[in-house]
């Protein structure tokens, strides 16, 4: 169960950060590694990756197969359109603008004028009878 769950999480991780097309090229990577392994028994997976990814794109006999490996060729396929209809004339009437905010005197002190006198009748100190 842990193995299946870890494969599932790895799959989600790979598909979220890479293109699906590049992930689907991994069987070609394994097949190409096996071809190199049959030609040279001493090559390791690290040596294979260093040969194909770290040493640049060398044009050799299997150059076309090398370019079919994942993350070897970068393709950008995006199309963007920017259209804007500009008005023929633009006029701004400042006399007709509305005020969205009222200007008030900023007073942060306690003000007696805002207290309702009817509310004061409820809050009286206790009386001794």
Domain extent at residue 32: 20-75
Contact assessment for residue 32 and residue 72, using Cβ atoms and an 8 Å cutoff: no
Q: Is residue 60 part of a domain?
A: yes
Residue-level length of the chain: 129
Cα separation, 34 vs 37, in Å, equals: 5
Tens-level pLDDT at each residue, the chain (129 residues): 889 999 898 888 877 766 777 878 888 889 999 998 999 899 998 998 888 888 777 787 888 888 888 878 766 666 666 777 777 777 777 665 566 666 666 665 555 556 666 666 666 677 777
Q: Is residue 37 part of a domain?
A: yes
Shortest CA distance to 12 belongs to which of 21, 22, 20, 3?
A: 20
In this predicted model, what pLDDT tens digit does every residue of 52-87 receive, in sequence order? 888 777 787 888 888 888 878 766 666 666 777 777
Structural domains counted in the chain: 1
Contact assessment for residue 29 and residue 70, using Cβ atoms and an 8 Å cutoff: yes
Q: Is residue 65 part of a domain?
A: yes
Q: Is residue 95 part of a domain?
A: no
For residue 20, what is the DSSP state?
H
Query: Under 8 Å CB-to-CB from 14, ≥6 apart: which residues?
Result: 23
Q: Is residue 98 part of a domain?
A: no
Cα separation, 93 vs 117, in Å, equals: 47
């Amino acid at each position: 169960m842990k193995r299946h769950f870890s494969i599932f999480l790895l799959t989600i991780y790979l598909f979220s950060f890479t293109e699906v097309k590049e992930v689907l090229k991994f069987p070609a990577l394994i097949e190409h590694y096996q071809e190199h392994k049959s030609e040279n028994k001493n090559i390791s997976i690290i040596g294979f990756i260093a040969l194909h990814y770290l040493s640049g794109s060398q044009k050799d006999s299997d150059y076309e197969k090398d370019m079919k490996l994942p993350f070897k060729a970068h393709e950008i396929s995006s199309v963007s359109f920017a259209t804007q209809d500009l008005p023929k004339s633009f006029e701004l009437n400042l006399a007709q603008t509305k005020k969205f905010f009222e200007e008030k005197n900023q007073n942060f002190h306690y003000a007696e004028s805002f207290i309702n006198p009817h509310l004061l009748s409820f809050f009286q100190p206790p009386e001794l009878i």
